[in-house]
Structure 1
Amino acid sequence: MPDPVLQVEDLCVSFTSGGVTADVVRDLSMRLDGGRTLAVVGESGSGKTITGRAIMRLLPRGASARGRIVVAGREMLSADERELRRARGSDVAMVFQDSMSALSPYLDIGAHIAQAIRLHDPSVTRRAARARAVEMLDRVGIPEPADAVCRFPHEFSGGMRQRAVIAMALVNRPALLIADEPTTALDVTVQAQILALLRELQQEYGMAMLLISHDFGVVGSAADD
């Protein structure tokens, strides 16, 4: 049996404030294989997003994690900063709930994607990274990608921004995608389009997907487990 893409064992995430420590995630274990989608379901404030951030080692100040997290064979909780920079984007990437907050208003869409490419392979020229950004925008279904690559986040609709964030997350073909409420604030038609796009890209790349949601309709249509 092949090793899982994601293995989480006895994960606890704690917050400390004013000398008081409290667990917000307690004794969580899960396994996720390549090509499959696992949904983490719960109401707002139940710890879904913080679980995804713990896997990425992107916890806010005052938070700490213990237990064991292995992504694509890499021990995330014991990894140093160099290993984490290598892992984020290539082993695991995250589509955040609010696409606007995930994008800088000062950079055009192409610069966001090109940055993600060159961060993991500095030998790629700016011109080549920009060309790959156009290809990726085309792959996620953004019309006229050669023009769209020069536009800024505020010039995109919510659905277009979400497609751009997906392009940025997947440009390095990670083994694991964490999709945190990827259809929140989108109308029903656009939600269906985004979910269909994620399924299509998952099949194409063979990646595992951890889907964070409180919407049982989304979970029912997208999750294996």
Structure 2
Amino acid sequence: MLFGIEWDTSSNWTLAVSIFPILLRGLVVTIEATVVGFFIASVLGLVLAALKSARLRIISWPARFITEFLRDTPLLVQVFFLYYVLPEYGILLPAFLTGALALGLQYSAYTSEVYRAGIESVAHGQTEAARALDLSPLRLFGVIIVPQAIPRIIPALGNYLVSIMKDVPVLSVVAILEMLNVAKIIGDRTFNYLIPLSMVGGLYLVLTLLASAAVRHLDRRLPKQGIPLR
């Protein structure tokens, strides 16, 4: 029994039917962790990209160091650090938030490079024209550069969305009941790993295909010349 639901192990089909509602609960956790992690990665990645593009080295160098540190250290180490080390300094986060934050921090290093490529693809003449009009750096970045950069990097951001989704099982090390962890528990209790793991693989395949289709649709819909701001 898991989540208060019993399953029948008399045959593979009955086992698959009985554990499907349980896996769906794990699926919800997987989707939630993916969405929160991707949101953190998207926002923090944009901030890091902006800081790395700053003219002052005292601003750009620390941002580059943080990016390299996050990218070059394993996700598992970052999860353990947030979950076991931060409480020693009085920072105690729920397991789910810890895992989602670790995903967001790890992938913010990658999304920052995607943003940087998009920012550099914007014609420099527009930047110079905005400065000639005496626009503030914040307004220049938020109104001129970002709306033109984002439509060009949607496919790359979509790839990282899928990657975050497939890295969610790492969070099982801090007892988050996402799909793979739920399937492992079912396998431990029924001595049948084939059915739950196969079902998890199928659910991940469906999720990946849906996410990829959504990214392609968004890529086609957004104007390449930039997002109009009103």
Structure of larger gyration radius: 2
Shorter-chain TM-score tier: under 0.3
TM norm structure 1 = 0.23
Q: TM (normalized to structure 2)?
A: 0.22
